[in-house]
């Protein structure tokens, strides 16, 4: 298994273009199941997770073709409605096929995703939502089976917590239901908005985009559409923080800065200079005479549903704060076990104490982290190790980088081009 080897202490200079958002590509690819025909999706990142989703569509009878970042999916003939364990265990977002299959055929069977490295992550909200549309669900042999008698019927649901994929699943199921569906306390993440735009282009009627109350008026028929995946705000944020850790001046192009407002505020408070112009954010962190980046100020964060601080950037922010002067409190409120990266950051010398859902990070002077072999435990934890490795003196070797490949397109290559000393080596 390949590893990443990083020689820290190299400032970043130049520009990186962000790819399409993984978390938008997955629901939008799943949505192609809703309407028979050929759908065209632009800006689809080539990642382990998007390949898994395409494999899943293929198992169900779809065919697809990729030309650069454009993917055409033909869902004219569906031959199956089952997501097997082998795929679901590698990608929890496989549950996203439930909604569109219900909408199209009234039946789906998906292996239960089970626990994962960052917490229990149940699917109860998804099933409660489907139930409100007249769908019956049952569990057997590790699979969840959902079935509707005839056409789904509109209904109302108020989520306890705004769940991203449950909102997306319900939108897709409701698009063809008979009557109106109201989703309250819906997730407002930009990726949900991207899905709403695609569904609208397919002929769906959805009101309330970007708010926590969505109203879907079901239609009888939907048709294929052409859509562009939005830029990956998590990838963009990760690179901004990489510049904060390594120093230098890095332009992050092709992003939507309005999706990064909280992060940009926090980075500015920490002392980084962030310039925003059109679809580009430039992060500067000057380097002092002895070659180390200028100190950062400790800043606290609390993860929250959008537009709050994203849980998917928490691990990276923690790595950055390990290089600040002062004490930073990182409060994780979305997932109960999302501090797996702490033990690995500690191997590099970071001073972090976990107290329940809070991590207390005591910043070290620049260059005080020392490279070591570390292990990636989940996708965003891996990104935090890259950030720490860029800041550390000496060499850091990250193993299990398949986690990173699930969500970052050509990360080593992109960072290398802007001056990082990072290479992928056989494990």
Among 6, 12, 26, 315, binds ligand UD1 (CB under 6 A): 26
Scanning 1-9, 156-164, 212-220, 344-352 for contacts with ligand UD1 by CB under 6 A, the matching segment is 156-164
Smallest CA-to-CA distance from 383 within 230, 190, 240, 253 is with 240
Determine if 124 is a binding residue for ligand UD1 (CB under 6 A). Answer: yes
Among 164, 175, 350, 359, binds ligand UD1 (CB under 6 A): 164
Report d(CA 391, CA 162) in Å as an integer.
35
Q: How far is the CB of 210 from ligand UD1 (least distance, A)?
A: 16
Peptide bond into 307 cis (omega under 30): yes
Determine if 125 is a binding residue for ligand UD1 (CB under 6 A). Answer: yes
Among 161, 213, 354, 365, binds ligand UD1 (CB under 6 A): 161
What does the DSSP assignment read for 281-315?
EEEEE-B-TTSSBPPEE---EEB-STTSB-GGGHH
Determine if 163 is a binding residue for ligand UD1 (CB under 6 A). Answer: yes
Coil, strand, or helix at residue 361?
strand
Among 41, 47, 88, 93, binds ligand UD1 (CB under 6 A): 93
Determine if 312 is a binding residue for ligand UD1 (CB under 6 A). Answer: yes
Among 311, 314, 323, 396, binds ligand UD1 (CB under 6 A): 311
| Residue among 137 and 324 whose Cβ is closer to ligand UD1 | 137
| Residue among 251 and 409 whose Cβ is closer to ligand UD1 | 409
Q: How far is the CB of 332 from ligand UD1 (least distance, A)?
A: 10
Residues in the chain, total:
427
Determine if 153 is a binding residue for ligand UD1 (CB under 6 A). Answer: no
Contact between 270 and 296 under an 8 Å Cβ cutoff? The reply is yes
Determine if 335 is a binding residue for ligand UD1 (CB under 6 A). Answer: yes
Helices 98-105 and 164-174: angle between axes, nearest 10 degrees? 10
Q: How far is the CB of 237 from ligand UD1 (least distance, A)?
A: 13
- Residue 45 CB coordination number (10 Å): 22
Distances in Å between the alpha carbon of 64 and those of 70, 93, 260, 406, 407?
Answer: 10, 19, 32, 20, 20
Contact between 84 and 345 under an 8 Å Cβ cutoff? The reply is no
Determine if 75 is a binding residue for ligand UD1 (CB under 6 A). Answer: no
Contact between 45 and 229 under an 8 Å Cβ cutoff? The reply is yes
Q: How far is the CB of 12 from ligand UD1 (least distance, A)?
A: 25
Determine if 334 is a binding residue for ligand UD1 (CB under 6 A). Answer: yes
Contact between 313 and 380 under an 8 Å Cβ cutoff? The reply is yes
Q: How far is the CB of 187 from ligand UD1 (least distance, A)?
A: 6
* x/- track of binding to ligand UD1 for residues 100-119 (CB under 6 A): -------------------x
Which residues, other chains included, contact 379 with Cβ-Cβ below 8 Å and sequence gap of 6+? 403, 404, 406, 407
Report d(CA 191, CA 178) in Å as an integer.
25
**First-to-final CA distance of the chain:** 5
Determine if 23 is a binding residue for ligand UD1 (CB under 6 A). Answer: yes
Coil, strand, or helix at residue 26?
helix
Determine if 236 is a binding residue for ligand UD1 (CB under 6 A). Answer: no
| Residue among 190 and 224 whose Cβ is closer to ligand UD1 | 190
Provide the β-strand partners of residue 358. 331, 355
| Residue among 76 and 119 whose Cβ is closer to ligand UD1 | 119
Number of residues binding to ligand UD1, judged by CB under 6 A: 21
> Which residues are known catalytic residues?
116
Contact between 347 and 324 under an 8 Å Cβ cutoff? The reply is no
Determine if 331 is a binding residue for ligand UD1 (CB under 6 A). Answer: no
> Site residues (CB under 6 A) for ligand UD1?
23, 26, 93, 119, 121-126, 161, 163-166, 187, 191, 311-312, 334-335
């Amino acid at each position: 298994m390949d590893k990443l080897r990083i020689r820290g202490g190299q400032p970043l200079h130049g520009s990186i273009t962000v790819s399409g958002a993984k978390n938008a590509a997955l629901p939008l690819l799943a949505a192609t199941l809703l309407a028979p025909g050929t759908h065209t999706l632009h800006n689809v990142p080539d990642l382990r997770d998007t390949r898994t989703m395409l494999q899943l569509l293929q198992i169900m009878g779809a065919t697809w073709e990729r030309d650069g970042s454009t993917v055409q999916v033909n869902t004219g003939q569906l031959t199956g409605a089952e997501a097997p364990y082998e795929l679901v265990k590698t990608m929890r977002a496989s549950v996203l096929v439930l909604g569109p299959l219900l909408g199209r055929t009234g039946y789906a069977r998906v292996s239960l995703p089970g626990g994962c490295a960052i917490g229990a992550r149940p699917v109860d909200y998804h099933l409660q939502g489907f139930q409100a549309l007249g769908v019956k669900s049952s569990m057997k042999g590790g699979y969840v089976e959902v079935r509707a008698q005839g056409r789904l019927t509109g209904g109302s649901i108020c989520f306890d917590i705004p769940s991203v994929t449950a909102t997306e699943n319900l939108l897709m199921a409701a698009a063809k239901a008979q009557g109106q569906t109201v989703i309250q306390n819906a997730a407002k993440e930009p990726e949900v908005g991207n899905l709403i735009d695609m569904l609208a282009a397919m002929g769906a009627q959805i009101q309330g985009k970007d708010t926590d109350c969505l109203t879907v008026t079901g239609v009888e028929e939907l048709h294929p559409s052409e859509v562009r995946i939005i830029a990956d705000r998590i990838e963009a944020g990760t690179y901004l923080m990489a510049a904060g850790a390594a120093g230098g001046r890095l332009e992050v192009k092709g992003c939507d800065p309005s999706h990064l407002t909280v992060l940009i505020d926090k980075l500015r408070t920490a002392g980084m200079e962030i310039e925003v112009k059109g679809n580009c954010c430039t992060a500067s962190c000057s380097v002092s005479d002895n070659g180390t980046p200028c100190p950062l100020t400790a800043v606290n964060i609390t993860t929250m549903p959008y537009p709050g601080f994203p849980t998917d950037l928490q691990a990276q922010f923690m790595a950055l704060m390990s290089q600040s002067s002062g004490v930073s409190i990182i409060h994780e409120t979305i997932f109960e076990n999302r501090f797996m990266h702490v033990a690995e950051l500690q191997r590099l010398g970071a001073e972090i104490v976990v107290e329940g859902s809070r991590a207390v990070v005591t910043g070290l002077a620049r260059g005080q982290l020392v490279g070591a072999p570390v292990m990636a435990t989940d996708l965003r934890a891996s990104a935090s190790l890259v950030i720490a490795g860029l800041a550390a003196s000496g060499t850091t070797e990250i193993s299990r980088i398949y986690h990173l490949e699930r969500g970052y397109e050509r990360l080593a290559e992109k960072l290398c081009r802007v001056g990082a000393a990072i290479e992928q080596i056989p494990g």
